[in-house]
Amino acid sequence: MTKSDLKAPEPKRVKEWKLPSGVLSAALSEDGEKILCGCLDGVYLVDMEKSEISKLYAHDSYVSSVEWLSDRTLVSAGYDGRIIWFDMQEAQEIRSEKAHQFWSWDLAISNDRSILASVTGQYLAGGYRYEPAAESEPSIRVYEAQEGQLLHKLPHVPSVQAVAISPDGKSVAAGNLMGEIRIYDLETGNIQYQWTTKDFTSWGIIKSHSYLGGIFSMRYTPDGDSLLLAGMGPMRDPMAGNGRQLWQKWDLATDEPKLVDQTHEGESGEGLMEALAVDPDASFFVMGGRLRGGDWNAAFFDLNQGHRLATLKTGFRITDTRFYNSGGTLLVAGATGQGKPKKDKSFSAFGRIELYETAPQDS
């Protein structure tokens, strides 16, 4: 494979905001003027034009995911297992659904904003080899997005930490701790594909006897023919968090899913990768997360050839990334540490939102 001749992006930070609490998810409004932030202590709104930050409401625990349903309606999911619909104009909750008994790890929305999917699951040892116990509730729930009608309850093996809906809205993909991916047909509820990649899962034998890791983010390519996965390569000591920064690309346009590419040798450091974003014109994608060792915690990759094109070292843990302006701008969300206590017993602002211009320059 020859080195990509794609023009490499040269990311330049143009704006940043510090939030009172760590950010786990972020979503940009369609008009590009506001950012929703799912934080440890609630849902916040960043008004980019006014540079104002306001808290809208809270879950009973961390807010793991936020999405826009319209220019005035949003939806969020949290570690309390609830999905909340909220009207910003009326500043009030529309409805609340107790989707899971355990956490909502991740929430996905279809491109047309008509379908939501949330995933859950607690890792409990199910046998003498510490393999996960069977689920105690459906690991995947799919809803009609606007009215909240439950459409499907779908099985998986806990814990299920990542979910994505295909660009055409016809399939939902979910990945778990053990590297197992299941893709369901959303019309029938039947499984379309089911396979396992062991490259994201580690078995601890030094400090803990358990499985750790798994698939932490997944995204379809814009044509729907491939699925990107992100996490961390296996380690002898999973508690060290020093596995390889890892992505994989799986071809779905075949009878059986086929691994066609993954992080190239010499193009990664160490750390758990928790976020993926694909450029709308399908030329490159971004993977980001925590930095354990190396030079970057976010990097741009050629979607077709897989080569690393550019890197970022943000200085904070990245939990979410989103492209907008037709891929010309990248939103990066996360947190720096856990916040430091001040003299008045409040905590320093440790949530982070940054915007980067990504206009490609000649390689």
Domains, the chain: 19-276 (2.130.10.10)
CB burial class (10 A; 0-12, 13-18, 19+) of residue 160?
buried
Calculate ∠ Cα 138-119-88, nearest 5°: 120
* pTM, two decimal places: 0.95
Q: What is the pLDDT of residue 351?
A: 97
Q: CA–CA separation, 28 vs 271, rounded Å?
A: 26
Q: What is the pLDDT of residue 128?
A: 86
Q: What is the pLDDT of residue 363?
A: 44
For 301-322, b/e burial (b = at least 16 CB within 10 A) is bbbebbbbbbebebebbbbbbb
Is residue 22 pLDDT above 90, yes or no? Answer: yes
What is the Cα 52 distance to its own chain's centre? 25
- The chain-wide mean pLDDT, for the chain, equals 93
Q: CA–CA separation, 341 vs 355, rounded Å?
A: 27
| Cis amide prior to 110 (ω within 30 degrees) | no
Query: CB count, 10 Å around CB of 118?
Result: 28
Is residue 238 pLDDT above 50, yes or no? Answer: yes
Q: Mean pLDDT throughout 228-237?
A: 90
Is residue 326 pLDDT above 60, yes or no? Answer: yes
Q: What is the DSSP letter of 236?
A: S
* Proportion of the chain above pLDDT 90, given as a percent: 82
339: left (phi over 0), alpha (psi -120 to 50) or beta: left
